[in-house]
Amino acid sequence: MKRIIEFIFVLIMIAALYVIVFSDFGLYWKWGLAALYASILLVTIYSLILENRTAQHTLVWIYALVFLPLLGYIFYLYSGQLYLKGHLFRTKRKHDREELQLLAKREQKPDFSDFNDHQACFSRFSHNVTMTFQNTATQTKILKNGDETFPEIKKRLSEAKRYIHIEYYIFRSDRLGKEIIDILIEKAQEGVEVRFLYDAVGSLSLSSAEVDRMKKAGIHVYSFLPIKYGFFNQKFNFRNHRKIIVIDGAVGFVGGLNVGIEYLGEDERLGFWRDTHMVMEGEAVQTLHAVFLLDWDYVSNEYLLETEEYLTPVPVKGDGAVQVVPSGPDTQEGIMSDLYYSMISCATKSIWIATPYFVPTESIRTALRIASRKGVQVKIMVPEINDGFLTQYATRSYFPELLRSGIEIYSYKKGFLHQKVIIVDGDLASIGTANMDMRSFHLNFEVNVFLTGASSIKDLVDHYEEDIKESEKVRPVGFYKRSVWERTKESTARLFSGVL
């Protein structure tokens, strides 16, 4: 109802502005409509003040409402209110929390006695604030780029015996997408249960013909938050950015790679695509599967978490600790940014970050600066060329304060860097779907895997060192000499940080 009222307010404001500026109506009409326009703004500003945001953010939105007629109001409705998402996903959040807590009760509580100081520092925090446990009966393998990831995915899909559950933000109908769909159809025809979930916005290019082809083969297909249902309630702003595959409860895939030929480096504009994915086997797959099943329940109203074959873990000999953590509007507010902050603050020797979009919270920037001042080696790697103007220049706007604190910044030049990796002290790492930006922290549905003492972390370290060789270090003197025009673009892009 609130959204409908706001939409009516927009129509009233449009009509008022038209009459005031372009019509021949009398002065009393114009003054009356001007008063109505001002009343709407005053009510909006009063509601804004009651939200108890920071004084800085409150004043920014007041200025936008007052000095940008109509446009400021519309931008506030569809950007300024994005963090007020609690009521939109209240039911899903409550339901998911209860289900994850039940799952955690079936798992063995972690033992931190074998962890070193910084590992225990982070693990105790993650144990207390998340609804999932660290698991020591899981093996993980790092997959570098599309040429390692997609052959492994195709191989494992072809080996499926009972079920395949797959969830993607971007799934295209190009050559790669059709190859995977062909495998899914083949398995469905063999009697394997296949459930396919895709984000309605991210997968706009997934053709209806391919969707119909899957459905005709017996594949269960749903889209996440179709746009047509989100105009009045703003849900179209919140996208499912997760990339999950679960096969027979024994094998799980998660990471940065969507499905499309650009992830094989075949996009002419972006060229080489640098990304990181992961395949896991063991008990932690059950947690990853639970994330999928909760999303499936939300879009299909089909509750599957009590299905016996989905509840049975397939443990393997453990290699370190593995924790799967979902984040987004269906979980605790800002949990992923809190986990990143904890990793950074627990570091004693080094913090290595690789992310395509670096638009961090103030607390994360502070933690990075303090770590560097304490003598911790801090490296941040971002792409030289980004896939968006705003993200590219907003990222660069944070360079000056980081460089002044002694933080090393590297610009990846070989192609587009899309991996989302954090490595702390060489033995604690995060890999998954969440970027280090406000959209991943507050708007998108994400899932990350945190590794403690796992041998696969060495591969992440080796790959990071290889990527450094393909990067150029940002030199403070040279960066400070950039043109006024470059600074203008950075400062302008930074204004949109809240929705990037």
List Cα–Cα distances, 471 to 223, 368, 468, in angstroms. 38, 21, 5
Identity (one letter) of the amino acid at 297? D
Query: In 39-94, which ranges are E strands?
Result: none
**Are the C-beta atoms of 494 and 394 separated by less than 8 Å?**
yes
The two structure tokens encoding residue 326: 């979902």
Instruction: Name the residue among 143, 140, 168, 180 with its Cα closest to residue 419.
Output: 143
For tokens 């931008």, what's the residue? 75
Lay out the sheet containing 163-168: strands in order across.
138-144, 276-282, 251-255, 244-247, 163-168, 193-199, 220-224
Residue 236 to residue 351: CA distance in whole angstroms: 35
Beta bridge partners of 193: 163
Instruction: Name the residue among 405, 421, 454 with its Cα closest to residue 340.
Output: 421
Catalytic residues: 241, 243, 248, 418, 420, 425
Instruction: Name the residue among 381, 150, 100 with its Cα closest to residue 256.
Output: 150
Identity (one letter) of the amino acid at 213? R
Question: How far is C-alpha 29 from the geometric centre of its chain's CA atoms?
Answer: 49
